[in-house]
Chains A and B, each alone.
Chain A
Amino acid sequence: GQSLEQPSEVTAVEGAIVQINCTYQTSGFYGLSWYQQHDGGAPTFLSYNALDGLEETGRFSSFLSRSDSYGYLLLQELQMKDSASYFCAVLSGGYQKVTFGTGTKLQVIP
Protein backbone atom coordinates (compact mmCIF):
# COMPACT_ATOMS: atom_id res chain seq x y z
CA GLY A 1 0.00 0.00 0.00
CA GLN A 2 0.88 3.63 0.16
CA SER A 3 1.46 5.81 3.19
CA LEU A 4 2.62 9.34 3.81
CA GLU A 5 3.66 10.96 7.07
CA GLN A 6 3.82 14.63 7.86
CA PRO A 7 3.57 16.59 11.12
CA SER A 8 0.03 17.43 12.15
CA GLU A 9 0.71 21.00 13.27
CA VAL A 10 3.45 23.60 12.95
CA THR A 11 3.56 27.11 14.40
CA ALA A 12 5.92 29.79 13.08
CA VAL A 13 6.42 33.52 13.41
CA GLU A 14 5.58 35.99 10.68
CA GLY A 15 8.65 36.73 8.57
CA ALA A 16 10.39 33.52 9.53
CA ILE A 17 11.14 30.35 7.55
CA VAL A 18 9.35 27.06 8.12
CA GLN A 19 9.98 23.58 6.74
CA ILE A 20 7.25 20.93 6.50
CA ASN A 21 8.55 17.40 6.06
CA CYS A 22 6.96 14.47 4.33
CA THR A 23 8.05 10.85 4.22
CA TYR A 24 6.34 8.32 2.04
CA GLN A 25 6.14 4.64 1.20
CA THR A 26 4.82 3.69 -2.18
CA SER A 27 5.41 1.58 -5.25
CA GLY A 28 5.63 2.91 -8.78
CA PHE A 29 6.62 6.38 -7.59
CA TYR A 30 6.41 9.22 -10.11
CA GLY A 31 6.71 12.32 -7.98
CA LEU A 32 5.73 14.34 -4.93
CA SER A 33 3.32 17.28 -4.95
CA TRP A 34 2.39 19.88 -2.40
CA TYR A 35 -1.00 21.54 -1.95
CA GLN A 36 -2.24 24.41 0.20
CA GLN A 37 -5.72 24.47 1.62
CA HIS A 38 -7.25 27.30 3.61
CA ASP A 39 -10.07 26.51 6.02
CA GLY A 40 -13.26 25.92 4.09
CA GLY A 41 -11.49 26.15 0.75
CA ALA A 42 -10.29 23.79 -1.92
CA PRO A 43 -6.69 22.54 -2.20
CA THR A 44 -4.45 24.60 -4.45
CA PHE A 45 -1.51 23.05 -6.25
CA LEU A 46 1.85 24.50 -5.14
CA SER A 47 4.62 22.36 -6.58
CA TYR A 48 5.67 19.04 -8.05
CA ASN A 49 9.02 17.27 -7.80
CA ALA A 50 9.79 14.32 -10.02
CA LEU A 51 13.57 14.50 -9.68
CA ASP A 52 15.86 14.87 -6.70
CA GLY A 53 16.64 18.40 -5.68
CA LEU A 54 15.10 21.72 -4.90
CA GLU A 55 12.41 23.47 -6.92
CA GLU A 56 11.82 27.14 -6.14
CA THR A 57 8.68 29.13 -6.84
CA GLY A 58 8.75 32.53 -5.24
CA ARG A 59 8.64 32.24 -1.46
CA PHE A 60 7.94 28.52 -1.66
CA SER A 61 10.47 25.79 -2.39
CA SER A 62 10.04 22.05 -2.49
CA PHE A 63 12.69 19.37 -2.13
CA LEU A 64 12.74 15.68 -2.99
CA SER A 65 15.11 12.83 -2.21
CA ARG A 66 13.88 9.71 -3.96
CA SER A 67 16.49 7.50 -2.32
CA ASP A 68 15.27 8.58 1.12
CA SER A 69 11.56 8.64 0.19
CA TYR A 70 11.50 12.10 1.68
CA GLY A 71 10.55 15.59 0.70
CA TYR A 72 9.85 18.93 2.27
CA LEU A 73 8.13 22.20 1.59
CA LEU A 74 10.00 25.33 2.60
CA LEU A 75 8.12 28.57 3.14
CA GLN A 76 10.15 31.75 3.45
CA GLU A 77 9.21 35.24 4.62
CA LEU A 78 6.08 33.86 6.23
CA GLN A 79 2.95 35.94 5.99
CA MET A 80 -0.24 35.67 8.00
CA LYS A 81 -2.07 34.52 4.87
CA ASP A 82 0.18 31.45 4.76
CA SER A 83 -1.77 30.03 7.71
CA ALA A 84 -3.39 26.99 6.13
CA SER A 85 -3.10 23.23 5.86
CA TYR A 86 -0.38 21.84 3.63
CA PHE A 87 -0.67 18.39 2.09
CA CYS A 88 2.03 16.36 0.46
CA ALA A 89 0.78 13.99 -2.19
CA VAL A 90 2.43 11.09 -3.97
CA LEU A 91 1.80 10.39 -7.61
CA SER A 92 2.27 6.72 -8.30
CA GLY A 93 1.01 3.68 -10.09
CA GLY A 94 0.37 2.96 -13.70
CA TYR A 95 -2.49 5.40 -13.97
CA GLN A 96 -1.25 8.39 -12.05
CA LYS A 97 -3.20 8.03 -8.87
CA VAL A 98 -2.51 10.63 -6.23
CA THR A 99 -2.49 9.75 -2.55
CA PHE A 100 -2.62 12.63 -0.11
CA GLY A 101 -0.93 12.85 3.26
CA THR A 102 -2.83 13.71 6.43
CA GLY A 103 -1.91 17.38 6.16
CA THR A 104 0.07 19.82 8.29
CA LYS A 105 -1.79 22.73 9.81
CA LEU A 106 0.50 25.76 9.76
CA GLN A 107 -0.27 28.62 12.08
CA VAL A 108 1.61 31.85 11.48
CA ILE A 109 1.68 34.12 14.53
CA PRO A 110 2.65 37.80 14.72
Chain B
Amino acid sequence: EADIYQTPRYLVIGTGKKITLECSQTMGHDKMYWYQQDPGMELHLIHYSYGVNSTEKGDLSSESTVSRIRTEHFPLTLESARPSHTSQYLCASSEFNPADRNPNYGYTFGSGTRLTVV
Protein backbone atom coordinates (compact mmCIF):
# COMPACT_ATOMS: atom_id res chain seq x y z
CA GLU B 1 0.00 0.00 0.00
CA ALA B 2 1.54 3.26 -1.17
CA ASP B 3 1.97 6.05 1.35
CA ILE B 4 3.05 8.57 -1.27
CA TYR B 5 0.89 9.21 -4.27
CA GLN B 6 1.67 10.81 -7.59
CA THR B 7 -0.79 11.77 -10.28
CA PRO B 8 -1.07 11.46 -13.14
CA ARG B 9 0.85 8.24 -13.76
CA TYR B 10 1.26 9.06 -17.46
CA LEU B 11 0.79 12.38 -19.26
CA VAL B 12 1.13 13.37 -22.89
CA ILE B 13 0.82 17.10 -23.45
CA GLY B 14 1.46 19.64 -26.16
CA THR B 15 4.28 22.16 -26.23
CA GLY B 16 3.53 25.38 -24.39
CA LYS B 17 0.94 23.94 -22.04
CA LYS B 18 1.02 24.52 -18.31
CA ILE B 19 1.00 21.37 -16.20
CA THR B 20 1.06 20.48 -12.53
CA LEU B 21 2.29 17.15 -11.28
CA GLU B 22 0.73 16.18 -7.97
CA CYS B 23 2.45 14.52 -5.04
CA SER B 24 0.91 13.74 -1.67
CA GLN B 25 2.13 11.69 1.27
CA THR B 26 0.27 10.44 4.32
CA MET B 27 3.27 9.72 6.53
CA GLY B 28 3.65 13.18 8.02
CA HIS B 29 7.18 13.53 6.65
CA ASP B 30 8.64 17.02 6.75
CA LYS B 31 11.12 16.44 3.94
CA MET B 32 9.97 16.03 0.35
CA TYR B 33 11.85 15.88 -2.92
CA TRP B 34 11.37 15.90 -6.68
CA TYR B 35 13.72 13.91 -8.90
CA GLN B 36 13.94 13.74 -12.67
CA GLN B 37 15.04 10.49 -14.28
CA ASP B 38 15.45 9.55 -17.92
CA PRO B 39 15.10 5.82 -18.75
CA GLY B 40 18.08 3.83 -17.53
CA MET B 41 19.78 6.89 -16.14
CA GLU B 42 20.52 8.32 -12.72
CA LEU B 43 18.17 10.39 -10.61
CA HIS B 44 18.69 14.15 -10.54
CA LEU B 45 17.36 16.27 -7.70
CA ILE B 46 15.40 19.23 -9.05
CA HIS B 47 13.57 20.54 -5.96
CA TYR B 48 13.33 19.81 -2.26
CA SER B 49 11.49 21.02 0.80
CA TYR B 50 12.16 20.64 4.51
CA GLY B 51 8.76 21.75 5.63
CA VAL B 52 5.82 24.04 5.00
CA ASN B 53 6.77 27.22 3.13
CA SER B 54 10.30 25.88 2.59
CA THR B 55 11.44 25.10 -0.96
CA GLU B 56 14.86 24.94 -2.56
CA LYS B 57 16.24 24.23 -6.00
CA GLY B 58 18.20 21.04 -6.40
CA ASP B 59 21.35 20.13 -8.26
CA LEU B 60 19.81 19.98 -11.73
CA SER B 61 18.62 23.21 -13.25
CA SER B 62 14.94 23.01 -13.93
CA GLU B 63 12.34 25.33 -15.39
CA SER B 64 9.76 23.96 -13.01
CA THR B 65 8.54 25.45 -9.73
CA VAL B 66 7.21 23.87 -6.54
CA SER B 67 5.16 24.90 -3.56
CA ARG B 68 4.69 23.52 -0.04
CA ILE B 69 1.60 25.00 1.56
CA ARG B 70 0.68 21.83 3.43
CA THR B 71 2.95 19.18 4.88
CA GLU B 72 1.40 16.41 2.87
CA HIS B 73 1.33 18.12 -0.52
CA PHE B 74 4.26 19.06 -2.80
CA PRO B 75 3.12 19.82 -6.36
CA LEU B 76 5.48 20.58 -9.22
CA THR B 77 4.47 22.99 -12.01
CA LEU B 78 5.79 23.54 -15.50
CA GLU B 79 4.55 26.88 -16.80
CA SER B 80 5.29 26.10 -20.44
CA ALA B 81 6.09 22.51 -21.33
CA ARG B 82 8.73 21.74 -23.95
CA PRO B 83 9.88 18.46 -25.55
CA SER B 84 13.08 18.69 -23.48
CA HIS B 85 10.91 18.22 -20.38
CA THR B 86 10.00 14.71 -21.50
CA SER B 87 11.15 12.48 -18.64
CA GLN B 88 10.00 10.61 -15.55
CA TYR B 89 9.39 12.73 -12.47
CA LEU B 90 9.67 11.01 -9.10
CA CYS B 91 8.49 12.44 -5.81
CA ALA B 92 9.93 11.20 -2.51
CA SER B 93 9.66 11.92 1.18
CA SER B 94 11.70 11.11 4.27
CA GLU B 95 11.81 11.61 8.00
CA PHE B 96 15.54 11.36 8.47
CA ASN B 97 16.87 13.22 11.48
CA PRO B 98 20.68 13.33 11.78
CA ALA B 99 20.28 13.70 15.53
CA ASP B 100 18.94 10.15 15.70
CA ARG B 101 21.58 7.88 17.18
CA ASN B 102 20.36 4.91 15.17
CA PRO B 103 18.78 6.39 12.09
CA ASN B 104 16.90 4.08 9.78
CA TYR B 105 17.08 6.38 6.87
CA GLY B 106 15.35 5.91 3.58
CA TYR B 107 13.37 7.76 1.00
CA THR B 108 9.89 6.57 0.12
CA PHE B 109 9.23 7.17 -3.55
CA GLY B 110 5.97 7.60 -5.36
CA SER B 111 5.26 5.63 -8.52
CA GLY B 112 6.32 8.53 -10.69
CA THR B 113 4.80 10.54 -13.51
CA ARG B 114 6.00 9.71 -16.98
CA LEU B 115 5.69 12.95 -18.94
CA THR B 116 5.84 13.22 -22.73
CA VAL B 117 5.74 16.63 -24.35
CA VAL B 118 4.96 16.59 -28.06
Chain A residues in the interface with B (C-beta under 8 A): 30-31, 33, 35, 41-45, 48, 50, 85, 87, 91, 95-103, 105
Interface contact A42-B105, CB-CB below 8 Å: no
Contact call B42/A101, Cβ cutoff below 8 A: yes
Known contacts A42-B109, A45-B106, A48-B104: A102-B48 contact under CB 8 Å: no
B1 on interface, CB distance cutoff 8 Å: no
Given contacts A42-B112, A43-B90, A45-B107, list 7 more A-B pairs with CB under 8 A.
A30-B98, A35-B107, A45-B108, A48-B104, A91-B96, A96-B94, A102-B41
Q: How far is the CB of A37 from chain B (nearest CB, A)?
A: 9
Q: Is the pair B103, A50 in contact by a Cβ cutoff of 8 Å?
A: yes
Q: Which of chain B's residues have a CB closer than 8 A to the CB of A48?
A: 103-106
A91 touches B42 (CB 8 A): no
When distances are taken between beta carbons in the complex, the residues of chain B under 8 Å from A43 are 43, 90, 92, 107, 109
Q: Write the chain A residue with the least CB distance to B4.
A: A42
Residues 75-115 of B contacting A (Cβ, < 8 Å) = 90, 92, 94, 96, 98, 103-112
Q: Which residues of A contact B40 (CB under 8 A)?
A: 85, 103, 105
